[in-house]
Copies of this chain bind each other. A is one copy, B any other.
Amino acid sequence: MVKKSIEILDTTLRDGAQAASISFTLREKIRIALLLDDLGVDYIEAGWPGSNPKDYEFFREIKNYSLKNSKIAAFASTRKKDVRPEKDQNLLSILESDVNSAVLFGKSWTLHVKEVLKTTLEDNLMIIADSIEFLKDHGLEVIFDAEHFYQGFKEDPDYALKVVNVAGEAGAKVVALADTNGGTLPHEVMEITKYVAERTRVKLGVHMHNDSGTAVANSLVGVVSGATHVQGTINGIGERTGNADLIQIIPNLAIKMGYKVLKENESLKKLRTVSSVVYELAGLHPNPFQPYVGENAFAHKAGVHADAVMKNTKAYEHIDPTLIGNQRKVIISELSGTSNLINYLEKIGIKIEKKEEKLKRALSIIKELEARGYSFDLAPESALLIVLKELGLYEKFFDLKYWKVINEDKLALAVIKVNSRVEVAEGAGPINAADLALRRCLVKDFPELEKVKLTDYRVILPGEVKNTESVVRVTIEFNDGDRTWRTEGVSTSVIEASVMALTDGFDYYLQLNKKLKPLFLKD
């Protein structure tokens, strides 16, 4: 039997970015978009160019990448009431974004038509119809978001339904019913969505907010009641209490309800990584209690014998945690740990047996470091350096013998000794100075490092005890124009942690180019 598909629209970069305290940079947006494409969502709603002109940069930049799974969509409102579509700034902003898909939002609640739009109910239907038609005429496919749909329906079901049908007749590919203020409860979503689904032929979607704590459930109930398109964000980030969390919705739909979601079922395994990278880029601590992907989601009380847990997993685990890239917590999951590493090693051309003792030893070093604040999820290449050392595949190309950073009011100097070479450099700040001095030491022997750019740098306190006394974790992203890699340093000092991550970053590049590439003759 062919499974029924549910289409996923991710709006992390648009609705998610409206969350308090979240603001993504252009590079972060690109990184998230590539991650979502790799995960295999159907649509990436990436910005609202009419409201935020900076979003144009994203639409321009993303064209340099060829996406394999997802369509990029731009968001806008329907046209203003007395403006013709071809003169309307909102609609023109979509054309200017040069996308093939648009998400248009419009009113379906009579109160809002009258009091916010200040127009007639009939005119609002016209606005919706000709806004959609305008974009269709320019070759775009259009998803229509019916704002405040559930609230509107409660007040005037006939009008709300009419909005859906008018949008469908105007050519909208999907009409998404939005619970804009998040106030609707699951049994109401069921009743209303069913009612609509029985009375329209257009493909229905749902767009839920979590103000009542039921956004995930509302999305699932929406699907049970006839919707085949679901909008949400990674980790449920979004305004107020957030949007519906795709990280929870996707496995519920795929594993529990048997729908086809994402381009490949195997991609469910990427959910945990996608979740943790988005937390990091959003500057949020991951929620250890998050369903499916949280650190405690499959944690079992200490003291229970591992065998008992294994036998009785069905009783206390609603799904197999590996399906979504998570793992059971009490059991030291040597096997799933090593398979992760094997996977990484294969990517750089190294094939190794799962039972290899050296690999296990590397894993135990990694686990020890993670207990001290490292997170190799975020910087796998620092972990790979450890593995290479354990496997005897590492060659010491340079030795950082000494470093010192001098930072006075306007002056930032770093003195670094590598092997027998001492160099000093002045930088815009202490970390920049360290970067420059380190390069001066290395570049004569390794001119290829000139290609290496630092593309991201971030510091967080990994521990729960938040205080400047705690250790900080510095993550640096490098790029040589072709590859991207990330390394980490952990220390009580930001500068020391940065020097560690910098050193690892250059070291990894040299291992790859001078040691591994010649060895395996592949990239």
Contact = CB atoms under 8 A, between A and B. Distances in A.
A212 B469 contact: no
A264 B365 CA distance: 50
- Number of copies of chain A assembled together: 2
Interface stretch (A36-44, A266-274, A458-466): A458-466
Interface stretch (A350-358, A448-456, A513-521): A448-456
Contacts of A300: 239-240
A400 to B, nearest CB: 12
A495 interface: yes
Interface in A483-511: 491-496, 498
Interface in A18-69: 18-21, 23, 25-27, 51
Given A430-B495, A494-B430, A18 B458 contact: no
Nearest to A148: B315
B21 A298 contact: no
Interface string A273-296: 000000000010101111110111
A291 B494 contact: no
Interface in A238-255: 239-242, 245, 248-249, 252
A331 interface: yes
Contact of A240 (B297, B460, B468): B297
B408 A404 contact: yes
Given A25-B462, A216-B213, A455-B467, A429 B183 contact: no
Q: Is the interface of A mostly helix, strand, loop or mixed?
A: loop
A429 B468 contact: yes
Q: Which of A435, A467, A468 gathers the greatest number of chain B CB atoms within 10 Å? A: A468
A169 interface: no
B493 A430 contact: yes
A443 interface: no
B26 A428 contact: no
A440 to B, nearest CB: 15
Contacts of A301: 18-20, 239
Given A213-B292, A256-B183, A288-B20, A427 B458 contact: no
A187 B224 contact: yes
Given A456-B461, A493-B412, A468 B431 contact: yes
Contacts of A375: 23
Nearest to A249: B213
Interface stretch (A316-324, A339-347, A383-391): A316-324
Given A187-B220, A301-B18, A459-B494, A212 B466 contact: no
Contact of A283 (B297, B429, B460): B460
Contact of A316 (B23, B180, B292): B180
Interface string A93-108: 0000000000000000
A166 to B, nearest CB: 22
A318 B430 contact: no
Given A187-B224, A218-B217, A181 B316 contact: yes
Given A213-B291, A217-B217, A428-B469, 17 more contacts: A21-B296, A183-B319, A185-B252, A187-B224, A212-B248, A213-B292, A217-B221, A236-B289, A285-B285, A404-B409, A429-B491, A430-B493, A432-B467, A432-B468, A432-B469, A459-B494, A468-B498
8 contacts: A21-B378, A27-B466, A116-B308, A217-B217, A404-B408, A430-B494, A455-B467, A458-B459
Interface of A: 18-21, 23, 25-27, 51, 112, 115-116, 148, 180-183, 185-187, 190, 210-214, 216-218, 220-221, 224, 236-237, 239-242, 245, 248-249, 252, 256-257, 283, 285, 287-292, 294-302, 308, 312, 314-319, 329, 331, 375, 377-378, 404-405, 407-409, 412, 427-432, 434-435, 453-464, 466-469, 472, 477, 491-496, 498
